[in-house]
Structure 1
Amino acid sequence: MAEMFLEKFRSLVPQYLDDAWQPEDGLTPQELDEALEVSGVSIPLALREFYLALGGCEDLMEAYYYIWDPEELEIEDGYLLFMEDEEEKYVWGVRADQLDVPDPIVHRRLNARGTWKSEEGTFSEYVLDMFEWVFEELEPELGD
């Protein structure tokens, strides 16, 4: 299958880290496949290309929320979980019955209640918007 998201995800390194993308910022296909073997899950194309582009880049994998390493991925409540917040109040995932969709809709679970809510954006949209929000928040205000 043709790459759909790889270059867009790679472009996040120069955009937010002010450095050129390097191969070590991502995982090799072999590293990713071995990690997925450990977790025992299959993943959608967008998430696969995210790991290939940025799976080795801690500055982005842990920029605000924690995007799980591929060997940590798991299916719970009918969702493939891939990210959590620092306080573990929320976890994000995509529906397990949508793993064959190249860029599925992201959902968020409030862990205290176990309730899921759609984020109303696909994985690629959600991740790109999240980084934009995170790095805008981190920019010092004018005059500081």
Structure 2
Amino acid sequence: MNLADGYREFAARHLGRPLHGGDGHAASELTAAEQRLALRLPPALHAYYATCGAVEALNRSHNRLLPPQELQCEDGHLVFMDENQGVCCWGLRLDSLAEDDPQVWQGISVAGGETLEWHGEDLPCSQWLRLMGWWQLVNGGFAHAAYAQTTPSVMRQASTQWPLLGRHPDGVMAFHGNAAQVLALTTGGDCALWAAGRTRADLAAIDAALGIAWDYNALDED
């Protein structure tokens, strides 16, 4: 499966519908961005923008994938996403853009510093975009969501009841779920659990399966 088909399958699965032209950015937008910056987007990023880069639920419900006209070069990196509170951003090293699927780097603002402090995410762009997509879904991408600071036993239950979708190499966060339900679990001692469903019924099923007291639960607002 090529990059575009992989992204298309990933996005359509969680959206519950086939993708259409408006879900991606036009080739003319991407070409204009490349000409403005005098560079070529690597295939992994270019294909994502072209297939599903305009889907709000996956790209702008929490953190913000920059539209092509806002892509920028900073500190030797092509910055393509901003964190929702402006604490950090994500980009690709300019010297890696010739690669098909380069590693993503996180740039962190340091107090008093004029440049960002960059740390590798240890994931190629295509995999990192999927992880970020799941994070977006549990933070507003899916309309029905819940959050709890819970217990190790609940975390074990969630991780065994729903299949693993993916995890970050640093071990801090793992994602479980299916097409219409996504759960994000911290793997440290704080036992933080985010859950979201495409529909109210999807979240209600998570709630019924876990049977816990949520700190926040969209079901309570209906």
Q: What is the aligned partner in structure 1 of residue 80 from structure 2?
A: 82
C-alpha spacing 1:31/1:73, structure 2 compared with 1 (3 Å)? closer
Deviation at 1:46, TM superposition (A): 0.5
Q: What is the aligned partner in structure 1 of residue 100 from structure 2?
A: 102
C-alpha spacing 1:127/1:32, structure 2 compared with 1 (3 Å)? same
| Structure exhibiting the larger radius of gyration computed from Cα positions | 2
SS in 1 for 2:207: coil
SS in 2 for 1:142: helix
Q: What is the aligned partner in structure 2 of residue 115 from structure 1?
A: 117
The 1-side partners of 2:132 and 2:101 are apart by: 16
SS in 2 for 1:9: helix
Q: What is the aligned partner in structure 1 of residue 8 from structure 2?
A: 10
Q: What is the aligned partner in structure 1 of residue 48 from structure 2?
A: 50
Q: Identity percentage over the alignment? A: 25
> Could you list the per-position Cα deviations for residues 20-45 of structure 1 after superposition, in whole angstroms to 9, with x for gaps in the alignment?
21122112323321343344442111
Q: What is the aligned partner in structure 2 of residue 73 from structure 1?
A: 71
Which TM-score applies when normalising by structure 2? 0.58
For the aligned residue pairs, the C-alpha RMSD in angstroms reads 2.0
Q: For residue 77 of structure 1, what is the amino acid of its counterpart?
A: D
> Which structure 2 residue ranges, 5 or more long, are not aligned?
138-181, 183-193, 197-202, 209-218
C-alpha spacing 1:61/1:131, structure 2 compared with 1 (3 Å)? closer
Deviation at 1:17, TM superposition (A): 1.8
C-alpha spacing 1:14/1:142, structure 2 compared with 1 (3 Å)? same
The 2-side partners of 1:109 and 1:62 are apart by: 18
The 2-side partners of 1:64 and 1:24 are apart by: 20
When structure 1 is superposed on structure 2, of 95-104 and 24-33 the one drifting more is 24-33
The 2-side partners of 1:45 and 1:69 are apart by: 16
Deviation at 1:12, TM superposition (A): 3.0
Deviation at 1:117, TM superposition (A): 0.6
Deviation at 1:87, TM superposition (A): 0.6
The 1-side partners of 2:61 and 2:123 are apart by: 20
Q: For residue 76 of structure 1, what is the amino acid of its counterpart?
A: E
SS in 2 for 1:27: coil
The 2-side partners of 1:35 and 1:117 are apart by: 25
1:130 counterpart (120, 129, 132): 132
Count, aligned residues: 142
When structure 1 is superposed on structure 2, of 33-42 and 12-21 the one drifting more is 33-42
When structure 1 is superposed on structure 2, of 43-52 and 19-28 the one drifting more is 19-28
Contact residue 39 and residue 71 of structure 1 kept, 8 A: no
> Which structure 1 residue ranges, 5 or more long, are not aligned?
none
C-alpha spacing 1:109/1:95, structure 2 compared with 1 (3 Å)? same
